[in-house]
Structure 1
Amino acid sequence: MEVRRAVRAHLADIDAGSVLVACSGGADSLSLAAALAHEARRAGIRAGGITVDHGLQDGSSRRARSVSEAMATMGLDPVEAVHVRVAHGRQGPEGDARRARYAALEAAAARHDAAVVMLGHTMDDQAETVLLGLARGSGARSLAGMAAYAGLFRRPLLRLRRDVVRAAVPDHVKPWEDPHNADAAYARSRVRHNVLPVMESELGPGLAQALARTAELLRADADALDTLAREAVGAAVVDGDPELNEAVAGAGYEVTRLAALPQAIRWRVLRAGALAAGCPAADLHAAHIAAVDVLITDWRGQKGIDLPGAIRAKRSGGVLWFGQMT
């Protein structure tokens, strides 16, 4: 009943289009799919299911067909198995597969006029995400974990423990256990099977709830700071190109305005400037932003800071410039 109530709450504002559930065939997503089929039928909302075959394991296409059949027996319609090609990029196997999966889900939503795509992440997944962000030394945005509402995507189960969600899997379907979830080569698997159990054993029960609650609090803080940063960008931006020996042309920001900002907001402005100039988000780290910040807080005539993606940050004439090096 808890899974159904969570899904019901996320359907309350749906008044147009259909709803899709992303289902891997695992217990969490099968539980979500069954709850959506039940609640959507009661609410008179058209609900379908999408399973994404990454093609990374033997028998994946056969399993995708099986998942599709399971969703159809629940009453979901339309049901579709989407086969994707995972390109090898800079984010590693997990990141590359995630990027391909979300792109496929967005395309499926467009095809089926879906207002929402539901994802089966649980409180335990959220706790794992927070610990992974903490291990990377990330900022508040990373530690804020996954959002319950993120544009097209919704995660109704984020406040439910994994065991509660899995107990709601219908008896007539058999969940599939992804071997990657038990593969110690993956950081998330090590956190799930080794780190979290030890921490809960040593610190007491309720750790996952505490980490998830921390994520919610940090998300609210990060949202507020991001709003202030967007306002600060508008106030500090300068039009025109810098007159530099190196051909660096791009967005510029008044140093005096940046220097007056609290560090939490200023660093967000600097990150936004670097990303807007073309820095790859996956390669832009806190150490890069800290180095750029020195051009504002400890200016001694430095030549500039080279950033990922052949981007340079340079101070000239009281303006901090971000742009492509040519």
Structure 2
Amino acid sequence: MAYSAAMKHAIGAVRRSLTALGIGVQDARFARHGEHEPAPDAPLVLVACSGGRDSLALMAVADTACAAWGVRCGAVVVDHGMQPGSAETAARAAAQCAALGADPCVVRAVQVEERGQGAEAAARDARYAALVDEARRLGATAVLLAHTKDDQAESVLIDLIRSGGVDALAGMPPGQCVDGVRFVRPFLGVTRAATTSICEDLDLDWWDDPTNGDAFAAGEALPAHFPLRSRIRHTLLPYLNAFAGRDMVAMLADGAAIARRDVDYLDARADDVFARTVTIAYDDDGAPHACIDARALAAEDAALRFRVVARTLSICAPGSGKRHVDAVEALVSHWHGQQAVRLPRKRTANRKKHVIEVCEDVTHANRRHRERDRS
């Protein structure tokens, strides 16, 4: 079969991701022409598929690449239940994946519970939890995600709007581990135009999430109730392209790849400093608390101090923002006897001599223990 340029490029991207996972041609049979069945114990990779153009294209490409190397390829379709007809949409996506060769092919319904983080973030949390569960159950080596070059550019802009810093410039990593399961994004160098072309060439009828705003013309302002990502896609990026006179998707995504190298280096250095300066323990209720060696941490570069403190607070006081990190870092680098720093989740950071304790607020802890004793 003759493949289009878009298909060839996408197959190459998936093969590079498989190689990075340590997966290659399984035996000599797959070096010869013809169709060969993978062994029952061959590595299994799963594609997270929504039925949209990007994930259907990834399913088709991944199955082609895996079949050529003797690797098993399956699919997981997550039904968030957030839109009318979501079960039918998920079943249709699963049928398309099965027709493309996915085996196993699983539909997983989830309950999205929003706890103040927003509907989109809550859906993402539920989706990842389901994918992790299915990957473990099926013994998969990795889960492939269909984020494209366009998604990467949009993510950079979202992160710059919401947070900033070098981590925002780096966008989404090509791979990450979530609860012991490896997730890989082979399409970060593949455009949405290419995934559309692949689906059209293979006569795949994809589903468009109405919240993506695809019914609106490029450059047309979306209503404010649409997700930020959709508004960036349809309004901000076309404006930036016109303003700069160049392809800003390519500029932002290629820049993210460069920034990612810097972030990975900083993270590796921060891992070492964290291991030497922070001790995490858990009380009888399972609540984490930390002890930071302020004297040892003060000897490190400011970039590393910030990352170590941020990581500590993410464990002991989830929801902490930059102002919390800055305040705790000041206990390290600009110590002059200041009071304890109040943190989210009723936690505080308090320095005594050269040790900073990040733990439950004393007043809250005493109240909680009194209530437990009365019961």
Q: TM-score, length-normalised on structure 1?
A: 0.91
Q: Please report how far the alpha carbon of residue 49 of structure 1 lies from its aligned counterpart in structure 2 after TM superposition.
A: 1.1
Distance 1:163 1:106 in 2: 29
Gaps of 5+ in 1: 241-247
Pick from 320, 326, 348: which aligns with 1:312? 348
- Counterpart of 1:259? 298
Contact 1:138 1:286 in 2 (8 A): no
- Counterpart of 1:76? 102
Cα distance change on mapping 1:65 and 1:250 into 2, 3 Å: closer
Q: Please report how far the alpha carbon of residue 206 of structure 1 lies from its aligned counterpart in structure 2 after TM superposition.
A: 2.5
C-alpha deviations, 1:90-136, integer Å up to 9, x for none?
32101000000011111111122211111111000000000111111
Q: Please report how far the alpha carbon of residue 25 of structure 1 lies from its aligned counterpart in structure 2 after TM superposition.
A: 0.6
C-alpha deviations, 1:121-162, integer Å up to 9, x for none?
100000000011111133322332111122311111101111
Contact 2:340 2:350 in 1 (8 A): yes
- Counterpart of 2:256? 215
Tell me the number of residue pairs that the alignment of Structure 1 and Structure 2 aligns: 317
Contact 2:280 2:289 in 1 (8 A): no
Contact 1:249 1:321 in 2 (8 A): no
Q: Does 1:227 align with 2:268?
A: yes
- Counterpart of 2:217? none
Distance 2:274 2:63 in 1: 44
Distance 1:324 1:52 in 2: 37
Distance 2:77 2:278 in 1: 44
Distance 1:39 1:221 in 2: 31
Pick from 56, 68, 74: which aligns with 1:48? 74
Q: Please report how far the alpha carbon of residue 284 of structure 1 lies from its aligned counterpart in structure 2 after TM superposition.
A: 1.6
Describe the SS at the equivalent of 1:294. helix
| Runs of 4+ in structure 1 over 6 Å off | none
Describe the SS at the equivalent of 1:208. helix
Q: Please report how far the alpha carbon of residue 254 of structure 1 lies from its aligned counterpart in structure 2 after TM superposition.
A: 2.7
Instruction: Provide the alpha-carbon RMSD of the alignment.
Output: 2.1
Contact 2:280 2:288 in 1 (8 A): no
The one of the two structures with greater contact order (alpha-carbon pairs below 8 A, sep at least 6) is 1
- Counterpart of 1:7? 14
Q: Please report how far the alpha carbon of residue 238 of structure 1 lies from its aligned counterpart in structure 2 after TM superposition.
A: 6.7
Describe the SS at the equivalent of 2:198. coil
C-alpha deviations, 1:227-284, integer Å up to 9, x for none?
22222223334799xxxxxxx99422232222222111001111122233x211xx22
Contact 1:3 1:168 in 2 (8 A): no
Q: Which moved more, 1:191-200 or 1:170-179?
A: 170-179
C-alpha deviations, 1:59-102, integer Å up to 9, x for none?
00011111111111112111111110001123210100000001
Q: Which amino acid aligns with 1:178?
A: D
Q: Please report how far the alpha carbon of residue 316 of structure 1 lies from its aligned counterpart in structure 2 after TM superposition.
A: 1.0
- Counterpart of 2:193? 163
Q: Does 1:272 align with 2:311?
A: yes
Contact 2:174 2:186 in 1 (8 A): yes
Q: Does 1:172 align with 2:172?
A: no
Give the fraction of aligned pairs with identical amino acids, expressed as a percent.
Answer: 37
Q: Which moved more, 1:292-301 or 1:215-224?
A: 292-301
C-alpha deviations, 1:265-312, integer Å up to 9, x for none?
001111122233x211xx221111111122233333222101111111
Gaps of 5+ in 2: 1-7, 25-41, 214-221, 282-286, 366-375
